[in-house]
A and B are shown apart, each in its own frame.
Chain A
Amino acid sequence: MSKKRDKLQIIKDILETIRDKGNKVKPTHIMYKANLSHQMLTEYTNDLISKQMIELIVDKKGKKTFGLKEKGYSYLNDFKMIRGFVDSYGIE
């Protein structure tokens, strides 16, 4: 049985999904790849947009996609450090 993911891991999964799909991915793709419910996807993407890690791109036809921002890339690059620090000091 797989271990339950914490918030840090879920954010990493979402950001990796966007990065691996060429920085332009539909919400449903994130749902399936990152294994999230629609409600969780909405909550996390709103949170990540407010923290400027990702951006919502709406094209002329009204199709929505997500793209990574600089902070999102920084999160992925520094994930090991963030994980190590949060685990060591018990930060939530």
Chain B
Amino acid sequence: MYTLYSIESSFIFYALILQVIFSLVTFFIALTAYKIFGITQNSNTRSMALAFFFICISYAVQALFNFLIFLRVQHDFLVMFGIHPLSVLNEQGLYLHMVFMSIGLAILMFNAFKTNNKSVLWYMIISSVMVLFLSKNILFGFFMLTSLYFGFLAHYFYSNYRKNRKKGALMIAVSFIFLFFGNLLFIFMRKSAIFYAIAHLFDFLGYLLILINYYTIRK
């Protein structure tokens, strides 16, 4: 059995808290987008809701598996209930997180392309999943892929801000810039655990801006 990566055990608790927060923030956005779809029947808002829902699930799955690791559940206890040993659990959680996140980001990208051609979406989802599972270093492949996606989305949202000059659009553009750099830094976490912590900080700042924007438009 191989380990995908090693992180400081002290970080697991903070990472877990952040993943729960990210899951909640993306859930609120998904809910709002779905509510707007219910009123306007705009298919783009439905896609938005689906994308953020997948991202929410990806963080929830990651948080759940990190929680089990954090609890240091006994090996025998898990085997008794037919659950795999802890190291496999960690990897399964990571794989699920990566698949759901990739699908969510692919849907967001599809929205950004402003096309009705559904085959583009399927092509992006299938390519994303293939990149993940055919990569020699799956984690490196995942963070490179998500960095590319976040980079494109950051550019798209920045272009949106330049078009309409609204404060909300600026907040979202900056948030995705933070998320882009956060994902980029995850690539270097093998070098030092500090990159893992700083990457999470960037992610936190990104989702904080998304949450502030959500509060502003809902009040």
Contacts and interface: CB of A to CB of B under 8 A. Distances in A.
A82 B157 contact: no
A88 B44 contact: no
B39 A75 contact: yes
Secondary structure call for the A interface: helix
Contacts of B157: 89-90
Interface string B27-51: 0000011011011111011001000
B213 A88 contact: yes
B166 interface: yes
A57 to B, nearest CB: 21
Contacts of B36: 78, 81-82, 85-86
A91 B114 CA distance: 9
Contacts of B164: 87, 90
B141 interface: no
Given A71-B39, A74-B39, A92-B114, A81 B32 contact: yes
Given A81-B36, A81-B217, A92-B114, A87 B166 contact: yes
Interface in B120-177: 156-157, 159-160, 163-164, 166, 168-169, 171-172
Given A84-B216, A85-B32, A85-B36, A90 B169 contact: yes
Which of under 10, 10 to 19, 20 to 34, or 35 or more describes the interface residues of B? 20 to 34
A78 B39 contact: yes
B218 interface: yes
A51 interface: yes
Interface in A30-66: 51
B49 to A, nearest CB: 11
Contact of B217 (A51, A85, A91, A92): A85
Nearest to A81: B217
A88 B171 contact: yes
B111 interface: yes
A91 B171 contact: no
Given A85-B36, A89-B157, 7 more contacts: A75-B39, A78-B39, A85-B32, A85-B45, A87-B169, A88-B172, A90-B159
26 contacts: A51-B40, A51-B41, A74-B39, A75-B40, A78-B35, A80-B217, A82-B39, A82-B40, A84-B168, A84-B217, A85-B32, A85-B36, A85-B45, A85-B217, A86-B36, A86-B45, A87-B169, A88-B166, A89-B160, A89-B172, A90-B156, A90-B157, A90-B163, A91-B45, A92-B44, A92-B114
Interface of B: 32-33, 35-36, 38-42, 44-45, 48, 111-112, 114, 156-157, 159-160, 163-164, 166, 168-169, 171-172, 213, 216-218
Interface of A: 51, 71, 74-75, 78, 80-82, 84-92
